Amino acid sequence: MRKLILPFLWVVIGALSALLVFTQTEWGLQNVKPIKITELSFANGSRYIGSIDDSGLLSGKGKLLWDNASYYEGDFKDGLFDGYGKFVHPSGVIHEGGYSIGLAHGAGKVTFVNGDIYEGEFVKDEIEGQGKWTLPGHSVYIGDVKRGGGRHGKGQIVYDSGSKYTGGFRDGLLSGQGVYTSADGEVYSGEFNKDDFTGLGSFSSKDYGIIVGKFDKWSAKGNAIRTDSKGNQWKGWFVDNYLHGEGEYIGVDGEHYKGDFEYGYYNGKGNLTDSDGNQYRGNFSQGEKDGSGKFEYKEAIDGVKKFSGKWDYGRLIEGDSNVVILSSDEIAEFSLYNQQRLLTESLENISSGNPDRPDLYLLGIAGWGRQEVFRREINYIEMQFERLFGTADRSVFLVNSQRNIQNRPLATITSIEKSIHHIAKVMDKDEDIFFLYATSHGSKENGLSLGHKGVALPDLSAQALGDMLKKSGIKHKVIVISACYSGGFIEYLEDEYSLIMTSSAADKTSFGCSDNRLFTYFGKAFFEKTLENASSFVRAFSQAEALIKKWEKDKGITPSEPVIYTTKVIESHLKKWRETLINPNGRKVVGSSQ
């Protein structure tokens, strides 16, 4: 409570009383007459400059000064401050505004020594009613003020930091219903208690989206629902703005989880339906399948519909009789004694092409062996290219897999280089077409990931692949790289005889590489959805790019931005190849120019 004028009222009353006494005695004023005068001096050292009424009381305009440097200047009536005036306290506090019977009353303004300013209503020398508090370097408040100056009732406070609050106040603190908006756009709307956002309400931000439910000291705690900017939703018990305990997640891409959570992650027992419709029931840790569980594909993959297994942070490490998972020792042992044989057999099966027309030679690479989606993609392409382009005896497939190592040579830098070299020896390097498809993970620094359980493999860099192709002397090339950041390969591979397509830009990731999928996003769009009916590889890429954009938009994920590099020279040669193309059944393949 700030009392502004009352201590000085007694001084004023004393001065006025002295005035009445002095007009009737010989002790006080000199030459006093019962008429209006302009200047009075008092025995206590105070002075008055102004007018008095016929009764000798201060009245009208005037200025009363004390020897402690305080003064009042303004309207007087019946010897008291009354009307509009300015009072300066010896401490430096200044009040300007209305007065009534000696007290600050009505509209007024107080400026404090520290720079704080109050503008608003006064009642009997107390700040009370509607007002505005300006605290330089801190905030501005406009609203209800209780007796003594504290924020109380309804109002709005705007902080110099850019944050603001509109709503209820109690004893100077945020209390009741209100809305708080932080400087960076976070919005808290609901119940406040003693300067804390506590009770029922909602919270919205760029990071969290919107949370509606119970809050304790600015964080969701209790039953709540969170919806992010993409529309994904979390329901259940929250702690520190995260689902923690039993809850449910509903994704816009079709993913649905119900079970235990730990700070926003699937953790404990739960049932998961992924975005492809596959189902898993079992243990989770930090958002990944971890421990024992049962998995059921939406559609059978590799001849398997459902199986039980054991996972290690998202990676299947043990399976029942339906799924074979090779150990690191088994893979290392087999690779040591059989890889050279498998590679030699694969290369020896490649035949020379037709001397009367250009032929297509295919090298397929599945680089990452800990997820089977890459192997499945290569298996599909093998059958598709054999059917469309007759590549049965003009193809080599290098595959890393933890489920099947008996039939394919591993994808390593050495096997890739040897395969390119051997194909170059067999084909007509000036007329035939070399088609390379590599699918795996990728990185900006290391290029295409080559990984296999039980065998340590270095990755394939873009420069290394470019050097292999230049050294081979192969002229006409179609190179397709499906991996994160694969656009970075183009600068090392481009020439006028090459068509190059990548699943992502050099600074973007691509999607769809989970172990339970048949295709990556790019593989599905290009090979399964568009290639068969497209008139050219370029046309297939264009259609696939449109599909990928739609899928990514529907799922609310960052665009991968596939990239194509082409020239008139390679397009002209591919057109020539398509015009002479005969499928294995002896019929000309339908298709217009490249």
pTM (two decimals): 0.64
* pLDDT score of 405 more than 90: no
Residue 320: predicted pLDDT: 84
Q: Name which residue leads in pLDDT, 278 or 584.
A: 278
Interatomic CA distance for residues 190 and 216, integer angstroms: 12
Residue 322: predicted pLDDT: 78
Residue 455: predicted pLDDT: 81
The size of the chain, in residues, is 594
| DSSP state string for 412-440 | -HHHHHHHHHHHHHHS-TTTSEEEEEEES
Q: Name which residue leads in pLDDT, 238 or 325.
A: 238
The residues spanned by each domain of the chain are: 6-113, 356-579
203-230 average pLDDT score? 94
Quick one: what percent of the chain has pLDDT higher than 90? 73
> CATH number of the domain at 6-113, please?
2.20.110
Q: Tokens in use for 341? A: 């044989």
* pLDDT score of 406 more than 80: no
Residue-wise burial string across 69-87, b where 16 or more C-beta atoms lie within 10 A, e elsewhere: ebbbbbbbbebbbbeebbb
**In the CATH scheme, what architecture does the domain 356-579 have?**
3-Layer(aba) Sandwich (3.40)
Residue 318 banded pLDDT, cuts 50, 70, 90: confident
Interatomic CA distance for residues 528 and 423, integer angstroms: 26
Instruction: Could you list the beta-strand ranges (E) of 380-425.
Output: 395-399
Interatomic CA distance for residues 571 and 575, integer angstroms: 6
* pLDDT score of 1 more than 70: no
Taking Cα atoms as reference points, which of 101, 94, 155, 146 lies closest to residue 122?
A: 146
Q: Which residues contact 544 (CB under 8 A, 6 or more apart)?
A: 522, 525, 526, 529, 530, 562
* pLDDT score of 281 more than 80: yes
* pLDDT score of 271 more than 60: yes
Residue 418 banded pLDDT, cuts 50, 70, 90: very high
429-447 average pLDDT score? 95
Across 130-139, 192-201, 574-583, least confident range: 574-583
Mean pLDDT for the chain?
89
Cα dihedral 470/475/478/484 (nearest 10): 10
Q: Which residues contact 59 (CB under 8 A, 6 or more apart)?
A: 51, 52, 53, 76, 77, 78, 79
Residue 335: predicted pLDDT: 73
| Helix or strand (DSSP H, E) at 63 | strand 58-65
Q: Which residues contact 264 (CB under 8 A, 6 or more apart)?
A: 234, 242, 243, 244
Q: Name which residue leads in pLDDT, 247 or 16.
A: 247
Residue 554: predicted pLDDT: 85
Residue 34 banded pLDDT, cuts 50, 70, 90: very low
* pLDDT score of 592 more than 80: no
Residue 334: predicted pLDDT: 73
Residue 438: predicted pLDDT: 98
CA 532 distance to own-chain centroid: 38
* pLDDT score of 329 more than 80: no
Dump pLDDT digits (tens) for 222-264: 999 999 998 999 999 999 999 999 999 999 989 999 999 999 9
Across 114-118, 127-131, 158-162, 300-304, least confident range: 300-304
Taking Cα atoms as reference points, which of 437, 433, 368, 426 lies closest to residue 402?
A: 368
Taking Cα atoms as reference points, which of 446, 543, 436 lies closest to residue 485?
A: 446
Residue type for position 8: F
| Helix or strand (DSSP H, E) at 218 | none
Whether 239 and 226 have beta carbons less than 8 Å apart is answered as no
196-225 average pLDDT score? 95
Residue 37: predicted pLDDT: 62
Residue 331: predicted pLDDT: 72
Handedness of CA 178, 179, 182, 183 (dihedral sign): negative
Interatomic CA distance for residues 254 and 554, integer angstroms: 10
